[in-house]
Structure 1
Amino acid sequence: MCLDVDDTLLDSQRAARQGLRELLGTDRAWPVWERTTDDYYARYVNDELDFDVMCVERTKAFFAAFGEQIDDAEATRRENLRMAAMQRSWGLFDDARPCLDWMRDSGLRLAVVTNAPSAYQRKKIAAVGLADTFDVLVISGEVGVAKPDPRIFHTACDALGLRPDEVAHVGDRLDTDAQGATRAGLHGIWLNRDQRAPEDAGVPAITSLHELPELLVGDLAALPAVPELIR
């Protein structure tokens, strides 16, 4: 079983909003921050920007959207304040630990597949108490490819010692996680926490990790190779 981290296991959006709130005194500008982050993080994932550079450039672009031009030093200062506040707010969704415990008790081998820099993501996983939970950590910053590239999913499968059709992957991004995993030959599952459209995503969808055990032993168990996932 492969799992995404941010907004799948860890409530990253809540933490990020808290970081912005502590920096600005409000999170009313959250939609602008979210759009700016989507743009600049995509540039990081596509190897156009180093992660630290991305953080500074994103902060400059965010404040520029409100007419304030700041230099690198001031952007770095503000980003450090925001990042520290966000990290203090890191925490798991309520459904994450029970689901992980169930999968462990069921004998499933677990892998993380995440798009992020190595040290940052390992720090995050440890901070929320998951350092010893997974058999394999596959982090884009370490393997040199990012979701939805099939190679990152195949790296996880190889590390687990399983064929792609013997592995399921769940994540909150329909295109990057669920459909990307499916194109790589895994059983992609969309964690649609916000119940966003489209309803017909072409992959199994759940709205909570509480629903994942039933899916694994129910609907997915009827597919080829999947019964081997459940002992």
Structure 2
Amino acid sequence: MTFALDPSPAPAPAGIKAVCLDLDETLLDVEHASRSALRELVGTDRAWPVWQRITDQHYARYVTDEIGFDAMCVERTKAFFAAFGESLDDAEAACRESLRMAAMQRSWRLFDDVRPCLDWLAATGLRLAVVTNAPGGYQRKKISAVGLAADFDAVVVSGEVGVAKPDPRIFRTACERLGLRPDEVAHVGDRLGTDARGASRAGLHGIWLNRHREECESAGVPAITDLDELPELLVADLVLGTAMEPDRLTPAR
């Protein structure tokens, strides 16, 4: 669905004054890039579910500070090839990870709904921020590579601030950098617990970007299936002054 709106509306009344957005799988189509890189590395798409499972396990260790990012990448690669019966030492795993990473970076791209949404948000007078989990240099490289470096008033990265989503402190850090109270800020992300519910617990308006239309009896937060739906959700608060309702725009089950 596309929400048609005057591209340069009048300044919004009291309500939401800024929107924070997650980066990976919200703005940047990381799955496309990662799948392409893995296919280039091993020559098939059939290993993708194994890579996903192992990535989830190892990335959780990084987010909780159990392991550094570079070490996590090497350990993940070793675990992935071990799942297919191949034992790698650290040097070989690092070499293969370097090849995969280079291939992935060549495939970084925005989702098609990102640019129109960001343009509308900026035209509405809302301030914009990115709130993302990963090393600072790595995430900032992504932002620059896909042409978003000039779009945000603040970039808040877990590797730079020392706390990761869903910790309330990273969301509050974003609000402080925007010069706003949490209740004046919405946060949009693809992970229900990490992004939407995490932001809500920090006092922001959490919004779940449910791109894959996952089944959920009660998200407890407003939900959209693409960024084309975000203006319609925000307008109720910005223009009509009404509160966003949980599960608004959640796809029919």
TM over 0.5: yes
Tell me, in whole angstroms, the C-alpha distance in 2 between the residues paired with 1:2 and 1:91.
19
The aligned counterpart of 1:156 is 174
Asked if 1:131 is matched to 2:163, the reply is no
Asked if 1:14 is matched to 2:32, the reply is yes
- Residue 27 of structure 1 deviates from its aligned partner by 1.5
Aligned length: 224
| Counterpart code for 1:74 | E
TM-score (structure 1 length as normaliser): 0.95
| 1:124-158 residue CA offsets vs partner (Å, 9 max, x unmatched) | 00000001110000000000000000000000001
Shift in alpha-carbon separation, 1:109–1:219, aligned structure 2, 3 A? closer
Tell me, in whole angstroms, the C-alpha distance in 2 between the residues paired with 1:189 and 1:57.
33
| Counterpart code for 2:195 | D
The partner residue of 2:164 within 146, 169, 180 is 146
The aligned counterpart of 1:229 is none
Tell me, in whole angstroms, the C-alpha distance in 2 between the residues paired with 1:41 and 1:131.
25
Asked if 1:108 is matched to 2:160, the reply is no
Structural mapping, 1:184-203, within 5 Å: 184-203=202-221
Tell me, in whole angstroms, the C-alpha distance in 1 between the residues paired with 2:185 and 2:153.
14
Asked if 1:43 is matched to 2:43, the reply is no
| 1:148-187 residue CA offsets vs partner (Å, 9 max, x unmatched) | 0000000000110110011000000000000000011100
3-state SS, counterpart of residue 206 of structure 2: strand
Structural mapping, 1:157-176, within 5 Å: 157-176=175-194
Asked if 1:207 is matched to 2:207, the reply is no
| Counterpart code for 1:68 | E
Tell me, in whole angstroms, the C-alpha distance in 2 between the residues paired with 1:223 and 1:214.
13
Which runs of 5 or more structure 1 residues have no equivalent in the other structure? 225-231
Higher RCO (Cα < 8 Å, 6 or more apart): 2
Contact 2:213 2:225 in 1 (8 A): yes
Tell me, in whole angstroms, the C-alpha distance in 1 between the residues paired with 2:136 and 2:221.
29
Asked if 1:76 is matched to 2:94, the reply is yes
Tell me, in whole angstroms, the C-alpha distance in 1 between the residues paired with 2:45 and 2:64.
28
Structural mapping, 1:86-125, within 5 Å: 86-125=104-143
| 1:93-119 residue CA offsets vs partner (Å, 9 max, x unmatched) | 000010000000111100100001011
TM-score (structure 2 length as normaliser): 0.87
- Residue 218 of structure 1 deviates from its aligned partner by 2.0
Tell me, in whole angstroms, the C-alpha distance in 2 between the residues paired with 1:13 and 1:199.
25
- Residue 223 of structure 1 deviates from its aligned partner by 1.8
- Residue 219 of structure 1 deviates from its aligned partner by 6.0
Which runs of 5 or more structure 2 residues have no equivalent in the other structure? 1-18, 245-253
3-state SS, counterpart of residue 222 of structure 1: coil
Contact 2:236 2:243 in 1 (8 A): no
